[in-house]
Amino acid sequence: MFLNGTAMAGGADHHLVGGAPLVARTTTAPRYRFHAVDGRYPALEDVGEGGAAVEGEVYDLSYEQLREVLLPGEPEGLELGVVELADGTGSLAMILRREHSKVPPLTDISELASWRAYREQS
């Protein structure tokens, strides 16, 4: 599972990862716009061309951990999807809901490409 927000190491929700091992610190392929949703959590939006490579961490979560612990804690503006990583492989990740018109205000933070960098400056 690719994590790019509060569940990364050192984040407020990292406890939701439990004992799942860290597989890699990496980035997505450069095909995503990266948003702060109402300043509270990050969201990836696949735009293909013109996107950014967003920083994150990949964890080897069990389906039980994903289903019972991580997903129930995710905000309504996100949904489970698959992202392309820098090396061309895919990973499960939380992405911006397709019907994002119902999502609170978005701030494009693609230039930062890092939730930690955004939180440090806000």
Per-residue pLDDT tens digits for 75-91: 888 999 999 999 999 99
Q: What is the CATH number of the domain that holds 92?
A: 3.10.490.10
26 or 98: whose pLDDT is higher?
26
Q: How many domains does the chain have?
A: 1
- Average of per-residue pLDDT values in the chain: 93
Residue 110 belongs to domain spanning: 2-121
The mean pLDDT value for 27-34 works out to 97
- Check: pTM over 0.95? Answer yes or no: no
Bridge partners of residue 92, in order along the sequence: 82
Contact 72, 16 (CB under 8 A): no
- Is the pLDDT assigned to residue 118 strictly greater than 70? yes
Q: Name the pLDDT band for 101 (thresholds 50, 70, 90).
A: low
